[in-house]
Amino acid sequence: MTDDILISPSLLAADFARLGEEVASVAAAGADWIHCDIMDGHFVPNISFGADVIKAIRPLTAKPLDVHLMIAPVEPYLEVFAKAGADIITVHAEAGPHLDRSLQRIRTMGKKAGVSLCPATPETAIQYVLDRVDLILVMTVNPGFGGQSFLGSQIEKIARIRNMIGDRPIHLEVDGGITPDNAASAVAAGADVLVAGSAVFRGHGGLDYANNIAAIRNAAKGGRAPAVRLRSAAG
Ligand code: DX5
Ligand code: ZN
């Protein structure tokens, strides 16, 4: 696990009429990555935006674009998202029968490969692809919409996945309903990347976004405190 806790604001909660400004603003406000939610109205019951939007925002920031594909089938679209400028491409374990192939394909294109699990999917769904991934994304809401409440049932799954990861250099990302109130519990369970949409894009841009990101980051650090205490107790 990396020492840093990374914050990946979800553009789903941004003002789409001013998307370019919102990307620049949240990047300057301290975002580590930019989370881009791609929804197809089929795998999830909502439609967001596609690869042309990724291409349009790519020149606006040097931050990694963390692209979460909630689409099925996913395989035919991997190349277009890679070419549009995604850095991390995450596919859902539930999106099709050939997860192993999709993950290999993402890495072959020189991108970081991520796999995501819906709340009802057990961690065993990814036990045979652990050596193919750079990131595991645990959904802490049912995918499709921003602004939903965090599902506490996923905390145990996050902890189990952290154990499964062992020493592998894999990020463990949580997505859905993250706020300063639950960030520490997600981190204590083993998450090191926090996606947040509505908890970041509230207020009036710049300074508000910086405060919102700082509040999540500071709260999240509380989730690391027990481990730090244990380490120092052990000498
Ligand atoms: C849900 C998306 C999330 C979500 C995050 O399908 O994958 O990224 O929009 O938004 P909040 O933080 O508002 O739940
Ligand atoms: Zn997402």
Query: What is the per-residue pLDDT across 151-167, written as a single tens digit (0 to 9) for each?
Result: 999 999 999 999 999 99
For residue 230, the CA-to-ligand 2 centroid distance in Å is 33
Which of 18-22, 191-195, 203-207 bottoms out in mean pLDDT, i.e. has the lowest? 203-207
Helices (H) and strands (E) in the chain, counts: 8, 8
Selection from 33, 98, 109 nearest residue 66 by Cα: 33
The H or E element containing residue 187 is helix 183-189
Mean pLDDT of 82-94: 99
Catalytic one of 40, 134, 175, 192? 175
Crossing angle of helices 206-221 and 19-28, rounded to 10° = 50
pLDDT at 234: 43
Return d(Cα 190, Cα 213) in angstroms, integer. 19
- Say whether the peptide bond before residue 119 is cis (omega within 30 degrees of 0): no
Using the predicted structure, report yes or no on whether residue 119 has a pLDDT greater than 90: yes
DSSP labels, 17-57: GGHHHHHHHHHHTT-SSEEEEEEBSSSSS-B---HHHHHHH
For residue 224, the CA-to-ligand 2 centroid distance in Å is 23
pLDDT at 1: 54
pLDDT at 3: 74
Atom from ligand 1 closest to the CA of residue 200: 12
Return d(Cα 175, Cα 225) in angstroms, integer. 22
Task: For domain 6-234, say whether CATH 3.10.450.50 is its number.
Answer: no
Mutate to test the pocket of ligand 1, among 7, 8, 10 (most ligand atoms within 8 A of CB): 10
Active site residue 181: no
Return d(Cα 187, Cα 212) in angstroms, integer. 17
Return d(Cα 36, Cα 70) in angstroms, integer. 10
Catalytic one of 32, 37, 40, 66? 37
Mutate to test the pocket of ligand 1, among 11, 195, 201, 202 (most ligand atoms within 8 A of CB): 195
Active site residue 100: no
Return d(Cα 127, Cα 141) in angstroms, integer. 22
For residue 168, the CA-to-ligand 2 centroid distance in Å is 23
Residue 120 is classified by DSSP as T
Query: Which ligand approaches the C-alpha of residue 43 most closely?
Result: 1
The whole-chain average pLDDT of the chain stands at 95
Return d(Cα 21, Cα 100) in angstroms, integer. 37
Selection from 165, 29, 110 nearest residue 173 by Cα: 165
Q: Residues of the chain with pLDDT > 70: what percent?
A: 95
pLDDT at 226: 58
Query: Which ligand approaches the C-alpha of residue 177 most closely?
Result: 1
Q: Residue 215: which pLDDT band, with cuts at 50, 70 and 90?
A: very high
Q: Residue 76: which pLDDT band, with cuts at 50, 70 and 90?
A: very high
Pocket of ligand 1 (CB under 6 A): 10, 12-13, 35, 37, 68, 141, 143-144, 146-148, 175-178, 195-199
Q: Residue 205: which pLDDT band, with cuts at 50, 70 and 90?
A: confident
Q: Token digits for 191?
A: 């998450």
Q: Whose CA is nearest to atom 9 of ligand 1?
A: 146
Name the H helices within 29-174.
51-57, 78-84, 99-108, 154-165
* Domain extent listing, the chain: 6-234
Mean pLDDT of 207-225: 96
Q: Token digits for 86?
A: 């995604």
Q: Residue 82: which pLDDT band, with cuts at 50, 70 and 90?
A: very high
